[in-house]
Amino acid sequence: MFSEMTVEIDSNAEKWTSSRPRQRRIQGACDVCKRRKIRCDSSEMPGNRCSHCTNMGLDCTHVDLMKTSTSAKGYVAALESRVEKLERLLNKLLPGINLTEHLENDVDVEPLLPHSAETPLQRNDEESLSGGLRKLKLDPEQNRFFGKSSGVQLVQTALNFKSHFSGIPHSYPILPNKRENYWAPVPWLLPPPDENPLYTFPDPDLLTSLVNLYFKEVNPCSPVLHRPTFKRKLAANLHIRDHRFAATVLMVCSLGARHSDDPRVLLEGETTRHSAGHKWHSQVSVIPKHLIYKPDLYELQTIALSAMFLMAISPTALCWNQIGFGLRRAQDVGAHRRNAQPRSKSLNEQWNRVFWVLLCLEWQFGTITGRPLAMHDQDFDQEFPLDCDDEYWDLNFEQPKDKPSEISYFIHCAKLLEIQAAVTTTLYSARKPKDLYGRSSPHTDTQNIMAFDSALNSWLLEVPEHLWWDPKRKNTLHFKQSALLYTAYYNVQILVHRPYIPTPRTVSLPGAHPSLAICTNAARSCARIFDAQDQLGIPVHPGALPVVFTAGVVLLLHAWSGKRSGFADTSSKELELVQTCLKLATAAEERYIAAGRYKDVLNRLLHAGDNLDLLFDMKPISTAPPLPQRGYEAFTPQPTSQAASTVTHEAFLSRPPQQSLDVTLDPRSPIFC
pLDDT digits (tens, 9 = 90+) for 587-612: 999 999 999 999 999 999 888 755 55
Sequence-separated (6 or more) residues with CB below 8 Å from residue 232: none
* Domain end residue (candidates: 39, 58, 93): 93
> Quick one: 162 and 43 in the same domain?
no
Tell whether 667 is covered by a domain: no
pLDDT at 245 over 60: yes
Out of 13-22, 276-285, 383-392, which region has the weakest mean confidence (pLDDT)? Answer: 13-22
Q: Which 3-state string (H, E, C) describes 514-534?
A: CHHHHHHHHHHHHHHHHHHHH
Least Cα distance to 219 among 259, 247, 262, 246 occurs for 259
Number of independent structural domains in the chain: 4
654 or 451: which leads in pLDDT: 451
- Please say if the pLDDT value at position 302 is more than 50: yes
Task: Residue 614: count other Cβ atoms within 10 Å of its Cβ.
Answer: 9
Would you say residue 649 lies in a domain? Answer: no
**What pLDDT shows up at residue 565?**
59
Residue 232 shares a structural domain with residue 361:
yes
Q: Are 246 and 284 in contact (CB under 8 A)?
A: no
pLDDT at 392 over 60: yes
Give 177-211 pLDDT, tens digit per residue: 677 776 676 666 666 666 678 899 999 999 999 99
Do 155 and 300 share a domain, yes or no?
Answer: no
Question: Of the candidates 291, 297, 294, 198, which has an alpha carbon nearest to the alpha carbon of residue 250?
Answer: 198
Q: What is the mean pLDDT of residues 420-444?
A: 78
- Do residue 365 and residue 463 come from a single domain? no
More confident residue, 339 or 282: 282
Q: What angle do CA 192, 195, 200 make, to 5 degrees?
A: 160
One-letter amino acid for residue 272 of the chain: T
The identity of residue 177, as a single letter, is N
- State the angle between helix axes of 345-369 and 316-332 in degrees (0 to 180), rounded to the nearest 10: 140
In a domain, 498, yes or no: yes
168 and 209 share a domain?
A: no
User: Residue 562: what pLDDT?
Assistant: 64
Whether 471 has a pLDDT exceeding 60, the answer reads yes
pLDDT classification of 358: cutoffs 50, 70, 90: very high
In a domain, 441, yes or no: no
pLDDT at site 300? 97
Most confident listed range (304-308, 436-440, 613-617):
304-308
Q: Distance between CA atoms of 282 and 297, rounded to whole angstroms?
A: 20
Mean pLDDT of 146-172: 66
Q: What does the CA dihedral 166, 172, 175, 181 come to, rounded to 10 degrees?
A: 180
Confidence tier at 438 by pLDDT (50, 70, 90): low
Report pLDDT digits (tens) over 516-534. Answer: 889 999 999 999 999 999 9
Pairwise CA distance, residues 68 & 38, whole Å: 19
Cis peptide before 173 (omega within 30 of 0): yes
Lowest mean pLDDT among 77-81, 179-183, 224-228, 447-451: 179-183
Q: Are residues 227 and 326 both part of a single domain? A: yes
pLDDT at 150 (0 to 100): 63
The 10s digit of each residue's pLDDT in 79-126 is 777 887 777 777 666 655 556 555 544 433 333 333 333 333 333 444
For residues 553 and 465, state if they share a domain: yes
Confidence of residue 294 (pLDDT cuts 50, 70, 90): confident
In order of 402, 480, 481, 526, the CA distances from 475 in angstroms are 15, 9, 10, 20
Q: In terms of residue numbers, what domain contains 212?
A: 204-394+405-424
Q: Please give the residue that has the higher pLDDT: either 655 or 241.
A: 241
Report the percentage of the chain scoring pLDDT > 90.
Answer: 45
> Using H for helix, E for strand and C for coil, what is the string for 22-78?
CCCCCCCCCHHHHHHCCCCCHHHCHHHCCHHHHHHCCCCCCHHHHHHHHHHHHHHHH
What pLDDT, on a 0 to 100 scale, did the predictor assign at position 112? 32
547-567: pLDDT as tens digits: 999 999 999 988 887 666 555
CA angle (312, 421, 373) in 5-degree steps = 70
Note whether 342 and 218 are within 8 A (CB): no
Q: Are residues 469 and 369 in the same domain?
A: no
Q: What is the mean pLDDT of residues 399-410?
A: 95
Q: What is the pLDDT of residues 607-665, one digit of tens each?
A: 875 555 544 444 443 433 333 333 333 333 333 333 333 433 333 333 333 333 333 33
Handedness of CA 253, 256, 260, 266 (dihedral sign): positive
Name the CA dihedral angle for 81, 87, 93, 97, rounded to a multiple of 10 degrees. Answer: 180
Contact status, residue 144 vs residue 130, Cβ threshold 8 Å: yes
Q: pLDDT at position 119, please?
A: 34
What's phi and psi for 522, nearest 5 deg? -65, -40
pLDDT value of residue 431: 80
Kindly report, residue by residue over 259-286, the tens digit of the pLDDT: 999 999 999 988 889 999 999 999 999 9
* pLDDT score of 32: 80
According to the model, what pLDDT value does residue 566 have? Answer: 54
Looking at the fold, whether 51 and 27 belong to one and the same domain comes out as yes
Task: Work out the pLDDT band at 223, boundaries 50, 70, 90.
Answer: very high
Same domain, 236 and 346: yes
What gap in Å lies between CA 219 and CA 255, rounded to an integer?
10
Regarding whether 376 and 241 lie in a shared domain, the answer is yes
Q: From CA 644, how far away is CA 298, in angstroms rounded?
A: 46
Q: Check residue 498 and report its DSSP letter.
A: G
Residue 550 near residue 489, CB atoms below 8 Å? no
Q: Is the pTM of this model over 0.95?
A: no
DSSP-derived secondary structure letter, 375: -
| DSSP state, residue 440 | B
Q: Which residues contact 76 (CB under 8 A, 6 or more apart)?
A: none
**252: in domain:** yes
Residue 494 within a domain: yes
Whether 8 maps to a domain, the answer reads: yes
Where b means 16+ CB within 10 Å and e means fewer, 285-313 reads: ebebeeeeebbbbbbbbbbbbbbbbbbbb
Residue 554 lies in a domain: yes
Q: What is the mean pLDDT of residues 438-466?
A: 86
Mark whether 492 and 414 lie in a shared domain: no
